[in-house]
Structure 1
């Protein structure tokens, strides 16, 4: 990890029950991994009085009971954990790699984005055409190839219930970057695959939104009824640390998946993996290739 991450850590109080820790002002995968390493260590050696531990994109927050743990003692403990974690390259995470099929340029997000061109930077093109152009790509086909070629790391889940925020697992200079709409839409189809800034996402439910829309997935990621196979004990599918592979599909394949969803048989393909920051940073492309092979293993 970059030493700049460690040098910019800022601790602040949130009322009488919270400590907020900002690892870096700019959001990056190294800053997030350091946040995750610290909060994982805190969970493993959780002192009495810690009520909640919440990692985010480049920060984390701890809620505590001041009647049980002295606030400044907790602050000192957090700083000590940060010192022990260092640059977090020795951190490892047992997590999942997931395959999320995507129908790019689908009719539903296309119809929606055309209704809101007056809120977009480029009213004369679609979202994916605009994203390809400003990222210096030859067109939509190359954009889809770049978007789906590398895995994505889930840094946090929220804002809208069940919505994952994801960093593209490539060197920062190769990340796809696309600004949000100039003004948010009042409608976004459920399970839209979107992008804002450096973050990819999947909209868990239908509603307002400002991220660019590239396609749609048949994979349900939120089920308040807990009736589908992937939702035995919790209504939200994604977890921080999940690694995602977007796989392009055609309309026929999309329709087949939807039939499986409606019949209650659909499950997201997932495998257990170990994420090692040091190996990832030493050779990102090689690490990603090995990671994606896990999905194809029996």
Structure 2
């Protein structure tokens, strides 16, 4: 049985940012423990409905609150947060969903983009996938792809640009895939690129600048103000913190067929409701992952 190490509980570090923001660093490094603790406190803040609190933004291992200083003094807000920190017990189980996301790895569009920015990369002679495979100890890119798509990913934050999910690989720390960001950011990244920087994966919701290594593209829109697809009817931003993502490698034929379905407004994702138990995952991650995958394909 493989047990995950838990992160020691340390005092939250608070800092006031400008006139309207209070930032709380729960942990210096991302872990599911830190995320669950931050989630519990932010939910408690929302339930208080404090006058003057405008936005509560949950991040990977931190959170930020935007407030109106004319309605609540920052020190009064800080006092409330410190009280919640000592009294709030982190939730250990959440009702969430697991989502299968198709990915065309090693696609022509990110490969073309890479070729225009090799002067900004650690290894100009390699593709992003080749570089990521090598520094993670894989002899072939296909083995790296298998490792990348073989385990689920936990969405720990949505933002930076509209609808972009940051994802944390659900494996023991010594098995996590890690790659540095580009030496200098690109000025272009194809829409719906699967990226990776540090220990985090992401999906670029829109075309734009970026610094994460590029591994492939998904045909599945994840941000659409028009909300044209079935799974986007509830919200123009698809992902939410706490989602679990399972990548599914597809070939070019399947990708092209999916794009036809997207353009026709018929494309849909495989989504299943699941309960995630942090204690069960930490006790036996492989058994938990197996159960999540079973739930995904339980028709």
Q: For this structure pair, what is the TM-score category when the shorter chain's length is used for normalisation? A: over 0.9
Residue in structure 1 matched with residue 26 of structure 2 by the alignment: 23
Q: Distance in 2 between matches of 1:113 and 1:236?
A: 27
Distance 1:128 1:63 in 2: 39
Query: Which residue does 1:206 correspond to in 2?
Result: 207
Q: Is the 8 A contact 1:183 1:210 kept in 2?
A: yes
Residue of 53, 56, 59 corresponding to 2:59: 56
Deviation digits for residues 53-90 of structure 1, max 9, x if unmatched?
Answer: 1111111112234454454443233223222345x3x4
Give matches, 1:149-228, under 5 Å: 149-228=150-229
What is the aligned partner in structure 1 of residue 243 from structure 2? 242
Aligned match of 1:270:
271
Structure 2 residue 253 is the aligned partner of structure 1 residue 252: yes
1:99-118 matched pairs, under 5 angstroms: 99-118=100-119
Residue of 81, 93, 101 corresponding to 1:78: 81
Number of equivalent positions: 295
**Other-structure match for 1:12:** 15
Question: Any unmatched runs of 5+ in structure 2?
Answer: none
Confirm whether residue 147 of structure 1 aligns to residue 152 of structure 2. Answer: no
Contact 1:8/1:25, CA 8 A, preserved across alignment:
no
CA distance in 1, matches of 2:136, 2:27: 25
**Residues 42, 274 of structure 1: alpha-carbon distance in 2 compared, 3 angstrom cutoff:** farther
Gapped runs of 5+ residues in structure 1?
Answer: none
* Contact 1:193/1:201 (<8 A) preserved: yes
Deviation at 1:92, TM superposition (A): 2.2
**Cα distance between partner residues in 2 of 1:171 and 1:85:** 27
Distance 2:194 2:40 in 1: 28
| Cα pair 1:188 1:206 within 8 Å, conserved | yes
Cα offset, 1:11, TM superposition = 1.3
CA distance in 2, matches of 1:261, 1:238: 18
Q: 1:65 to 1:187 in 2, by over 3 A?
A: closer
The alpha carbon displacement at 1:42 in A equals 2.5
Structure 1 residue 230 displacement after superposition? 2.3
* Partner Cα distance (1:136, 1:85) in 2: 41
Q: Cα deviation per residue 1:165-205 (whole Å; 9 max; x = unaligned)?
A: 11111122211000011111121111111101111011111
Q: TM-score of the superposition, structure 1-length normalised?
A: 0.92
Q: What residue number does 1:294 align with?
A: 295
Q: Secondary structure at the match of 1:7?
A: coil
TM-score for the superposition, normalised by structure 2: 0.92
Paired with 1:170 and 1:192, the residues of 2 have a C-alpha distance of 23
